[in-house]
Structure 1
């Protein structure tokens, strides 16, 4: 690869990311592989996988937080129940969509359930007494992802 072209592309990546993306896409489509900024292209492709992993971890942590709120935050439960179950549904859906596009992330989801639960617990301990919230989850990952499962429901909810 021409050093001048490589320097130009690396500079373009640093100066105008969107223009770099457009140019790189055009080069790939036209099979202009000799002028690709491979170093940054490889880095961007690697970051795509990390982005999905971070998203799954974030959604799973937030899902666990809301399940804990529903189960243990008595003083806010009646008032917030409907918004919490909507959030729970949204987090489940986001996880499902990521897994639909990348089923190979299922093992990552399983491996990170406990760390995500523990982060959620740590956050919830700011508003719920620590003796109420167990250190280990009292629900499974499968339950957390099950659209029909909730750790608590009001008697009048149908």
Structure 2
């Protein structure tokens, strides 16, 4: 087991390959269980972090579209395309891991606030232009047919 632990630190990919071989051979006594457990737990954390990043980026583009009037006409197509890309990525994650939907709801407001802060800094616009409350519901944010009202 100490060889596998040192392999984990020296060459992660080789450690993964060796661990898979040990699991396939049902050679459980030679598995580096501590690092394997950490890696499996990390998979869940990684998906949650990816969901947070996607939601924050989605809100950035929804806020651009809704609030950055001086740039809207020039960037409308690009921003709408990015919004669709983020929605596609979201739906793919939720399709393979539907149990993450409650987590999405849990971090929804926090991700909106993060996106709002980013947009305030990025645009240099008056912070009051960006609503303090989310500009979309969870359903609207993920609905590929919904965009914020841009007629004003």
Structure 2 gap segments, 5+ residues each = none
1:129 alignment partner in structure 2: 126
Moved over 2 A (4+): none
CA distance, structure 2, for counterparts of residue 83 and residue 105 of structure 1 = 28
Q: Give 1:153 deviation, angstroms.
A: 5.2
Q: Give 1:30 deviation, angstroms.
A: 1.1
Residue of structure 2 aligned with 1:144, choices 116, 123, 141: 141
Flag the structure with higher helix content: 2
Higher-Rg structure is 1
Quick check: 2:135–2:148 contact (8 Å CA) kept in 1? no
State TM-score, norm by structure 2.
0.95
Summarize deviations over 1:23-53 as a string: whole Å, max 9, x none.
Answer: 0011111111110000000000000000000
CA distance, structure 1, for counterparts of residue 94 and residue 27 of structure 2 = 33
1:22 alignment partner in structure 2: 17
Structure 1 gap segments, 5+ residues each = 1-5
State TM-score, norm by structure 1.
0.91
Summarize deviations over 1:41-71 as a string: whole Å, max 9, x none.
Answer: 0000000000000000000000001000000
How many residue pairs align between the two structures?
149
CA distance, structure 1, for counterparts of residue 71 and residue 27 of structure 2 = 59
| Residue 114 (structure 1) aligned with residue 114 (structure 2) | no
